[in-house]
Amino acid sequence: MRRVVHKLFWIWQLEKEQAWVNEMASHGYALEHAGRLRFEFDETEPDKYIYKEIFLKGWGESAENIKYFRFLEEMGIKVVCYINYPGTCWVYTRALKKDYPDGIELYSDIDSKITYQKVMAAYMILVIALTLGAGILNLWMALFNSYRILPLNLVCAILVFALCIAAVIAEINFLANLRRLKKERKLHE
Amino acid sequence: MPQLALTEAVFYILLSLQKPLHGYGIIQNVGELSNGRVKLAAGTLYGALNSLVDKGWIDALPENPESRKKEYVITNSGLIVLKEELARLSELVDNGKRLLGGN
């Protein structure tokens, strides 16, 4: 039986969302489709699947990503669905838990972990730039519009600035991870 | 110019591809060769295989329509690189043993 859950996760809350999806799987609800706010689960046996969410460059339909998805399937990792964002896609993958008892790990060396953190950090800069631009525009319209005061713009500016601050926090985390990995690479592979 | 050191993953992938193998076969073979110590992850393997094909160190074989799994095999230049790396590693081991007094 299909169960639909509406839940909001921001783009930088990948790990939190993944933990929730895996918790659902541990209770016997396997994710079959995800939208930006909507998650669809099918009832299955508890702990049958383990999920991993990843960011990839380009849209899910791109030739390069389709090639990668096929390769993952050869490894027993199925792409359940993906959500496209500008220049990137958020991919939901799963495997049988008996095949991946310790979880799905897609990167086992420092270089590929560094590449992944770089993609995340670059995307977050885009989010920061967009939210900052939208926030400034709304604030300007609210404060300097000579015809009338626009409280809606002020509310929008506050909300968008809040998003921008959250994205900055996420960016700091990605950069800290990147720095730690680069430091580690000086000594180890 | 001397060749830069290979990563452990690349060394084991090249070593495994003396016979044609597909991705999952490589992961299993590397695990067996290293007694389970080296566990290649799918994303890392995918990136490494693409880089090795670009460098001409391995070849992607024509796809088998039955299995739909792509197989790879080492090329002559890959074999030369692998032998050079083995010589470099032997030098490290020999010097380590000589200076630390091991056998």
Share of chain A above pLDDT 90, in %: 46
The full set of domain ranges for chain B reads: 8-100
Taking only the tens of pLDDT, chain B with its 103 residues reads 556 789 899 999 999 999 999 999 999 999 999 999 998 999 989 999 999 999 999 999 987 777 778 899 999 999 999 999 999 999 999 999 999 976 5
Beta-strand ranges (E) seen in A23-177 are 29-34, 38-43, 49-57, 78-85, 88-96
Which residues have C-beta within 8 Å of that of residue A65, sequence separation ≥ 6? A56, A58, A59, A89
Candidates 1.10.10.10, 1.20.1290.10, 1.10.340.30, 3.90.1150.10; CATH matching B8-100: 1.10.10.10
Chain B residues whose CB is inside 8 A of the A104 CB are 42
Looking at beta carbons, which pairs linking A151-156 to residues 24 or more positions away fall under 8 Å?
Answer: none
Cα A113 to Cα A55: distance, rounded to the nearest angstrom: 12
pLDDT tens for residues A3-19?
999 998 876 677 889 99
Q: What are the φ and ψ backbone dihedral angles of A171, each rounded to 5 degrees? A: -60, -40
ipTM: 0.81
Average pLDDT over residues A122-134: 90
Chain A interface mutation, best of B45, B63, B92, highest count of A Cβ atoms under 10 Å: B45
Rounded to whole angstroms, how far apart are CA atoms A55 and B25?
A: 26
* Cβ-defined contact of A71 to B22 (cutoff 8 Å): no
